[in-house]
Amino acid sequence: MSQYVSRFGSSRMTPRLRFPSGHRKPRRIAMLSVHTSPLHQPGTGDAGGMNVYIVELAKRLAAINIEVEIFTRATTGGLQPVVELAPGVLVRHVDAGPYEGLAKEDLPPQLCAFTHGVMRAWAGHRPGHYDLVHSHYWLSGHVGWLAAERWGVPLVHAMHTMAKVKNAALAEGDTPEPASRVIGETQIVAAADRLIANTAEESDELVRFYDADPAKVAVVHPGVNLDVFRPADGRAAARARLGLPQDAFIPLFAGRIQPLKAPDILLRAVAVLLERDPSLRHRLFVPVVGGPSGSGLARPEGLQKLAARLGIADVVHFHRPVGQEQLADWFRAASALVMPSYSESFGLVAIEAQAAGTPVVAAAVGGLPVAVRDEETGFLVPGHDPAHYADVLAAFLRNDSLADRMGQAAARHAQSFGWGTAASATADVYAAAMHEHRHRTRAHLR
């Protein structure tokens, strides 16, 4: 029987055990990310926290001598078949369907073509080229399921988000995940040798919603790039670089603009603040940094129109997604990051903001209670009532030192979320999966 690992916390439904040490770690793994490329800019389209997760994890795995080859769908013509992302990390572009115009919801019919491309790449190598398959999101899981069986290696899968969990907490007007995804996820949960969950709560959800074997679920928190996301030279310097007013109160939204992420809650909360105290208008500067994504693509101008209807268009400022270095400056410049999401498997942006020395106001959902220490590094808000978010933001407005005090605590808290720790724990999961796979194979041959 396999053992449950929890480097960072225990599950309410599963025993807290560690994988045995000393097992051989893989030399090279195939990592699958069908619907979004690690080379894409996070914050737009389908690129988000999962992209950051894959890039950072792959780099740190390579640093501990585990080579990573990431297979992803080619979305533009003229791409090199293979791109070196970092020493020891290759990105392989696979032709599967038209380059443009396909949302991830349109991709299931292209999985056969994608699998064919993965198999062609594998066929050019000697047997045993890959020791393990690590798939991300359910679409990749189906390709990984077939590849792992064909290659005779274990499959490790990370869900990142789950249809049943998202459907249980839909934003008003959002589109439910289809039954085909639920069925697909259920199949992958049953097929995988190991499932990596971001938090103990996600581990419990896998067991509760998908009947996962608790012994196959490993809890490994994502990390944060502490070299990029750090307090650096502080709020005033960051505001100067970004051209922002020094004396403003700046509640920041950063992420994909879609109902699931609920940027509208921040705008409605700002409208409540101004209704309560119109004199705040000259102090408020509300940046929304990100691009439309998912169901938000149906009305990409919806948030701008909402700001106009609420009468706050003059204080809300929309900005395109930015690279990590500039994103870190946006975090440093903000008075607080606001994350009113309806569902988050972890909330990587929350840790990035805290690492930059900025407190977080977040919904008390998913992994955010792990990422944010309530009333210490920020505030967790139950529910999605804009008035409750306005109450919390008003606390920062009343107390000028609150953001600084919480920001310092946030930066200390984030130090425990380095990617090196996450990579080491993930490598242990790989080693245990390989050990048990070899054991089963030998037993079957007897």
- Binding site for UDP-N-acetyl-alpha-D-glucosamine, by residue number, is 41-42, 49, 256, 261, 322, 344, 352
Would you list which residues are annotated within the binding site for 1D-myo-inositol 3-phosphate?
A: 35, 46-51, 104, 137, 161, 181
217 closest CA partner among 229, 202, 234, 239: 202
Given a contact cutoff of 8 angstroms between Cβ atoms, the answer to whether 219 and 199 are in contact is yes
Would you list which residues are annotated within the binding site?
A: 35, 41-42, 46-51, 104, 137, 161, 181, 256, 261, 322, 331-332, 334, 344, 352, 358
Given a contact cutoff of 8 angstroms between Cβ atoms, the answer to whether 361 and 274 are in contact is no
Beta strand spans in 279-420 (E) = 286-289, 316-319, 336-339, 360-363, 378-381
The edge-to-edge listing of strands for the beta sheet with 251-254 is: 316-319, 286-289, 251-254, 336-339, 360-363, 378-381
* Count of C-beta atoms within a 10 Å radius of residue 244: 19
Going by C-beta distance under 8 Å and a sequence separation of 6 or more, which residues neighbour residue 179? none
What's the one-letter identity of residue 115? T
Would you list which residues are annotated within the binding site for Mg(2+)?
A: 331-332, 334, 358
Distance between CA atoms of 412 and 156, rounded to whole angstroms?
Answer: 32
Rg of the chain (C-alpha set): 22
Phi-psi region at 97: left, alpha or beta (left = phi > 0; alpha = psi -120 to 50): left
Residue 317 bridge partners (DSSP): 287
Distance between CA atoms of 235 and 166, rounded to whole angstroms?
Answer: 35
Given a contact cutoff of 8 angstroms between Cβ atoms, the answer to whether 245 and 33 are in contact is no
